[in-house]
Amino acid sequence: MGAKGKWLKSLLFLALALLLLFLAFRSVDFAHLRDGFREVRYGWVAVALLLGLMSHVVRAARWRLLIEPIHRRLPLGNVLAAVFVGYITNLAFPRLGEVAKCGSINKTDGTRFDSLLGTVVVERAFDLLATLFLTLLVLLLQFERVGNFFLERIFAPICDKLLSISLFVYVIFIAIALLLVLLAVVVMRRQLLGERLSSKLQSLRQGLVDGLKSLFNTPKWGMFLVCTVLLWLAYWCMTWAVVRSTPITDGLGASDALFLLVVGSYGMVVPVQGGFGAFHVITAISLGIYGIAYDDGLLFAIISHESQTLLLIVGGLVALAYVYLKISNKTQNERSRPVD
């Protein structure tokens, strides 16, 4: 995809984020929100920010374990900077953050970009498994309350929408999907006729395979699992700290915070800049199962999301400066190296 296509895609995601934000705030009493912010215990928000920073350090340490089998042991600072570069990139260009953080390590340490992408796939696979596990755990801990929420507020509306669509629309949709798949196959076959492109694809495939093998090749797979547990434990404690920050949610317990972490994670999956709008809507609606009004739930969502977003922006800007200095120093050292 060219630069023009990437910008167009980002603008579409931005439009979706703005639409979701409009839907989230269109009927909100802003005076009520203003009064709610006056009652926030910002000490707990600071604790949440500290836990958020800790989670990013743990994520960087976990990723470094995957990179070790395909490269030397990298400085944790370089990996942490790459993680923040990925986050701040996602705020502008959704789903390009993983590419950006791989590019950061490639520039600072010379690790193969293709192999790094493979390690990111492993990372995301474990995060998905963790999310699914926590979803099941929440359902077991609060089945009557949370189970009814998922059935009545998520699955039932989706099924109703699907059942309301006529058979003719289904046929048209399937036909279009098959046509697109056929078109993609034809285009790929034509592109593969080029030897140069074929070589690049082969290199990409091999790099991804090497990256995917990293989990099995690392002698520290146990530490990788420990880091995964610590990562999600930090997320859980971070959510609980935000719960304690407002009188509205202060009465909720640890299992309730776990539920909010899970539904918030699904909100962040929506391909919009930083989860804006999607996170706010799903979190505010979810708090309704505890009898919390939508406006009050939105206050919690704003505190939770915007505080962490601010951390990502500040950390991302520092990381970009750090990476720039690293690359500049590396370039200067290479130029000053005597030629044999």
Q: Which two tokens stand for residue 177?
A: 């999907």
DSSP 193: T
Torsion, Cα of 315, 320, 324, 326 (10° steps) = 40
Question: What's the pLDDT score for residue 39?
Answer: 86
Better-scored residue on pLDDT, 147 or 198: 147
Question: In this model, does residue 32 exceed pLDDT 60?
Answer: no
Per-residue confidence band for 152, with pLDDT thresholds at 50, 70 and 90: low
Mean pLDDT of the 132-137 span? 90
Tell me the backbone φ, ψ of residue 263, rounded to 5 degrees.
-65, -35
Domain ranges of the chain: 30-330
The distance between the two most distant Cα atoms of the chain, rounded to a whole number of Å, is 75
Cα 83–Cα 89–Cα 94 angle in degrees, nearest 5: 115
pLDDT band at 216 (very low <50, low <70, confident <90, very high): low
Least confident of 155-159, 214-218, 283-287: 155-159
pLDDT beyond 50 at 233: yes
Tokens linked to 240? 């609980």
In this predicted structure, the answer to whether residue 163 has a pLDDT above a threshold of 50 is yes
Token pair 């590396």 in the structure block, residue: 330
Tally the C-alpha atoms within 13 A of residue 337's C-alpha that lie toward its C-beta.
9
Q: What number is the average pLDDT over the span 195-201? A: 48
Question: Is 283 strand, coil or helix?
Answer: helix
For the chain, give the mean pLDDT: 77
pTM listed for this prediction? 0.76
Q: What pLDDT, on a 0 to 100 scale, did the predictor assign at position 93? A: 77
Closest CA to 238 of 22, 54, 36: 54
3-state secondary structure 246-267: CCCCCCCCHHHHHHHHHHHHHH
Angle at 94 between CA 62 and CA 81, to 5 degrees: 40
Which whole-number Å values give the CA distances from 307 to 42, 249, 300, in the listed order?
A: 10, 17, 11
Alpha-carbon dihedral sign for residues 212, 218, 222, 226: negative
Is 220 a residue whose pLDDT tops 80?
no
